[in-house]
Amino acid sequence: MHDDRFYARLLRDGSLGFGESYMDGWWDAAALDVCLERLLRADIAAAIRSSWRFLALGLQARLSNMQSLRRAFGVADAHYGIGNDFYRAMLDRSTMAYTCGYWKDATTLEAAQEAKVDLICRKAGLRPGMRVLDMGCGWGSFARYAAEHYGVRVVGFCNSTEMVTLAAERCRGLEVEIKLQDYRQVTGTYDAVVAIGIMEHVGPKNYRSLMEAAHRSLTADGTFVLHTIGNNRSYAHADPWVHKYIFPDAVAPSLAQIGRSVEGLFVVEDLHNFGEYYAPTLVGWWRNFHEAWPRFRDAYGGDRFYRMWTYYLLGSAAISRARDSQLYQIVMTRAGRTQRVCRIS
């Protein structure tokens, strides 16, 4: 502990003050992820969750749609618009996937990410010539892999300008079309639909809208695969520190919220939880970030940004290890179709 003002700040501002005081260098830990994991397992957060900032954010989330179509593009650019070169350095070179890898048989970040994308392709039942919708396509990790390895045609929708620009570049020459549009603006009919890492960003008031968009886009015999972080409890908004510094207006769904959002639209065929694999994924991203940081120090504001990003990545790894959140892949189909084999691992 470097500054005794930390204690008053923690009591006043809760989790926001805890994270900001780390950014400001008021405290350190020899192994930040282990320290935070222990705090989470002790449920320290419950004692500070009722800070006025937490309550104010909850009130705002209930009174307004914080992830409305009007706000969606600006919110996306707030996180993903910090620079493609930065994310190239942090993520794996093969896929540039910014979601949890699948480490069952993998020993490197690249292998884990390729295994994750391939797992989704197999769960979706992809075959050559199929038309596939990628809702929230990011930098094109799924679209590129699916087109190259499964011979499908992919249409990707994303509302981040930076992501769309690089995704189109990475998928050039393939049967892939990348569109700068929100998931609510999806058009067309597809043999398979995937939503990878988008549900965390749409907000509880829009979970149903996401599912309705997937439902109207899917053929009668098609398969929908959802890949999302999952909270253990239902929340209306994100943690105040995460909301302010990392993902504005974002909050991961609980299983209860997912269940309500798909009711009457889809049959859940399979639910696969591999949340344990998020910790090694996040540590891999942090190592890449740490190694590349000297190239970005001046452009990103020096030590405070470094500490902020370290707190985000290693804090998220701690959340995974403490089992405070999960990673779900859910396979869904329309009601009435013949059940297909989808328990794939």
Name the band, by pLDDT with cuts 50, 70 and 90, for residue 265: very high
Which of the given ranges, 56-60, 119-123, 234-238, has the highest pLDDT on average? 119-123
Axis crossing angle, helix 255-262 with helix 207-217, rounded to the nearest 10: 50
CATH number of 5-334: 3.40.50.150
d(CA 266, CA 190): 15
SS3 annotation, the chain: CCCCHHHHHHHHHHHHHHHHHHHCCCCCCCCHHHHHHHHHHCCCHHHHCCCHHHHHHHHHHHHCCCCCHHHHHHHHHHHHCCCHHHHHHHCCCCCCCCCCCCCCCCCCHHHHHHHHHHHHHHHCCCCCCCEEEEECCCCCHHHHHHHHHHCCEEEEEECCHHHHHHHHHHCCCCCEEEEECCHHHCCCCEEEEEEECCHHHHCHHHHHHHHHHHHHHEEEEEEEEEEEEEECCCCCCCCHHHHHHCCCCCCCCEHHHHHHHHCCCEEEEEEEECHHHHHHHHHHHHHHHHHHHHHHCCCCCCHHHHHHHHHHHHHHHHHHHCCCEEEEEEEEEECCCCCCCCCCC
pLDDT at 57 (0 to 100): 43
pLDDT tens figures, 283-322: 999 999 999 999 999 999 889 999 999 999 999 999 999 9
pLDDT tens figures, 158-167: 988 899 999 9
Would you list the domain boundaries of the chain? 5-334
Q: Residue 193: beta bridge partners?
A: 133, 224
Rounded mean pLDDT, 115-128: 97
Work out the angle at residue 113's Cα, subtended by the Cα atoms of residues 272 and 217, and round it to the nearest 5 degrees: 60
Average pLDDT of the residues of the chain: 90
Name the band, by pLDDT with cuts 50, 70 and 90, for residue 36: very high
Name the band, by pLDDT with cuts 50, 70 and 90, for residue 68: very low
Higher pLDDT pick, 143 / 73? 143
d(CA 200, CA 70): 18
pLDDT at 71 (0 to 100): 52
Higher pLDDT pick, 235 / 45? 235
For the full predicted model, state whether its pTM sits above 0.85: yes
pLDDT tens figures, 183-200: 888 999 999 999 999 999
Q: Is the pLDDT of residue 51 over 70?
A: no
